[in-house]
Each structure stands twice: as structure tokens, then as C-alpha cells.
Structure 1
Amino acid sequence: MTHWQYVGKIVNTRGIKGEVKVISVTDFPDERFATGALLYVHDEKNSTYHPLTVTGFTRRKTFDCLTFKDYDSINAVEKYKGCSLYVPREQLSELEEGSYYYYQIIGAQVMTDTGTRLGRIKEILSPGANDVWVVETEGKDLLIPYIKDVVKAVDTEKKQVTIHLIPGLIDHED
């Protein structure tokens, strides 16, 4: 059975030559949308995945624009508006140690190195030099920088992250 990894959504067409606008959620758009890459568009009506081969990729302000082999007109791609794009998880590259796919981190339990449960990672922000993991707690969300002084262990099998609380990480004023 294939496990699918969501990489983006086709939100509109662009021009008349078969180009589509995609809101991308992939960690590696340059690799995922490279010429020759194979993506699968999900047809929700009959739950099928149809392969599309990327022939062009450009980055616009808030969108990635893609073209596909054998789809060279607006009429050919119009039917995919609103559809999601996937790749088989088996197609994902092995990452170097200390790097993770978002799906491996989102939903993980966060524990301190002293055994206190803090909450679950609900999203990942990429504001600059390092990612920031947003932890949903019973109170305010915590923002955990993905740096080695803070993140001590990541167990993707158990979906658990162990962190070290450095001064200033948790606001004690309520």
C-alpha cells in the first residue's frame, strides 16, 4: 500500500499554456518540482492518483508555478484546479542526520529533559536561520527554536521530541 505525502495544492491556472499556480508545502521545492519529477494529482471524486511529469517550475511571490508533460493548454489543466499534489513517501530522499521532514515532526509529543510533558508540535515556522517548532500546550503556545542547545533528541518512531529548557524559553508571567 502506498503512503502519500502531500506537497501542495493547485489553486489556479496561469496563462493559457497549461501552467498552474501551486501553494507548496514541500520542504524541498527545488527538488520536488524539478524538471522530470513525478507528482501525483489526487482525484477526490474517485480516490485515484494520476501521475504528472513536471516540465517547468518557477517561483512567484506566494506561489510556485508548474507545467506538466502533455498538458500544454489551459483546457488541459483546468480540471485540476483545487486538487492536491502528492508524492509516494517511498520517493522521499533520505535526509542527513539531524534533518527531518515536517510530517515526522508535526504531531510529536514534546518532553523536557527532566521528564515534564509540554505538549504537541502543531506547526513549523521557517522565519530565518533556523526552524521554530510551535508547541500546543494547555496554556499559550510555546515557540521552540530548532537549535542543538534546545532540541536534545528526536525519536521519529515514537513521535517524541526531548528539549532542554534554556532561560527565557517559557514565559513565567501569567
Structure 2
Amino acid sequence: MKKEDCFYLGKIVKKYSFKGEVLAKLDTDEPEIYEHLDAIFLDLRNNLVPFFVESSQLHKSELLRIKFEEVDTENDADSILKCDMYLPLEVLPKLEGNQFYFHEVIGFKIEDKNYGLVGIIKSINDSTAQALFEIDNNGKEILIPMNDEFIVEVNRKTKTITVETPDGLIDLYL
């Protein structure tokens, strides 16, 4: 399994018990979807290694308490501490309408109702308070906030996102 065929699920943040259980911080708005997984890929020295889940349950709402098969001691748990966790892309529930996963819209065109074709989404910047579409417009970078009020339509067939941005926002970059 390669990273590009997977999505980031979260990170193992601390040990939970002397029996090898760990707590993982999930990168999701709906942690309950991932409460009963059979296996999770852990990033060990840049290799995705499958770990089979013996049991798991939500712990204090945002953490997932996991007991992996063959992780039976504190030392075993130490060896996977701080590991990133991944799942295959096909595990993701399908989104419809104007909802989308960030990885899904890379390469989509952005069209503004007033401006016209803005460019192609080259990445999503989610390190800021508000996630941003990073758009390539003939070599110039344009940033548009991923605001529900701006997104008019997500068309998966034509790979186009139609937005309606405030007057002058796109012109700031050109």
C-alpha cells in the first residue's frame, strides 16, 4: 500500500495501558465512523505497515482508544507512539453535493460566477484558520477561502467548482 492510495486518519498520541493500548487523535469531524476498524496502516520509517485492530472505542469523544494485535506491552506501544495512521481511500464514505474531500478536488477547475475561469486547484492550504484553495492561474497563485458562502457548486463530472467571491478578491492577485 502506498501513501498516495491512502488518506491520513490521525496520529497515535499516547499510551493508555500497560497492556499495549494506545490513544489516537483522529483528523475527522466524525470519529464514530472509524470506531470499529479491522486494520490501520501505520507509517513506520516511511513504510505503511498494516496493524490489525483487536478492539477500539471512542475515548473522551475526540480520541480513539485502540488495542492492536501483537502490541501487548508498554514497550510495544512505545514503538508505535507518534506514528501517523492511514486508511485506503476506498474506505472513505462517498460525499455528494457541495461536500468534498481536499484530496479529491486537486486538479479541478475553479470558475467564478462574475470573473469566469480562475484557474486549476493545485493544493489546499489547511494550515491557516480558514482553509484556502491554492489556484494556479497561468503561473500566478490565487488564494480563495474555502467558505461555504463562496462555493456555489461542486461538479464532479466536469471537475469544476463554481464559486462566487466578493468583488475584487481575484483581482488582488492579478
TM band (smaller chain): 0.5 to 0.7
Aligned counterparts, 1:1-174, within 5 A: 3-32=5-34, 34=35, 36-45=36-45, 47-53=47-53, 54-59=55-60, 64-70=63-69, 71-105=71-105, 108-113=108-113, 114-117=115-118, 120=121, 121-124=123-126, 133-136=131-134, 141-147=143-149, 150-156=150-156, 160-166=160-166
What's the CA shift for 1:90?
A: 1.6
What's the CA shift for 1:103?
A: 2.2
Q: Which amino acid aligns with 1:117?
A: V
Task: Tell whether the 8 Å contact from 2:16 to 2:65 is kept in structure 1 after alignment.
Answer: no
| Greater Cα shift, 38-47 or 75-84 | 38-47
Name the SS of the counterpart of 1:52 in structure 2. strand
- Once residues 18 and 55 of structure 1 are traced to their aligned partners in structure 2, the CA distance between those partners, rounded to angstroms, is 12
What TM-score does the superposition give when structure 1 sets the normalisation length? 0.67
Q: Residue 95 and residue 143 in structure 1: after superposition, are their counterparts in 2 closer, same or farther (change >3 A)?
A: closer
Query: How many residue pairs get matched?
Result: 164
- CA-based RMSD: 3.8
1:112-167 CA-partner distances (Å, limit 9, x unpaired): 12324167452358x8xxxx5413365784424113xx212224466542201245
1:49-87 CA-partner distances (Å, limit 9, x unpaired): 313324222147xx6242224445323322112322111
What TM-score does the superposition give when structure 2 sets the normalisation length? 0.67
Q: Any stretches of 5+ residues in structure 2 without a counterpart? A: none
Q: Which amino acid aligns with 2:56?
A: T
Task: Tell whether the 8 Å contact from 1:110 to 1:135 is kept in structure 2 after alignment.
Answer: no
- Once residues 11 and 158 of structure 2 are traced to their aligned partners in structure 1, the CA distance between those partners, rounded to angstroms, is 29
- Once residues 25 and 107 of structure 1 are traced to their aligned partners in structure 2, the CA distance between those partners, rounded to angstroms, is 23
Instruction: Give me the identity figure in percent.
Output: 22
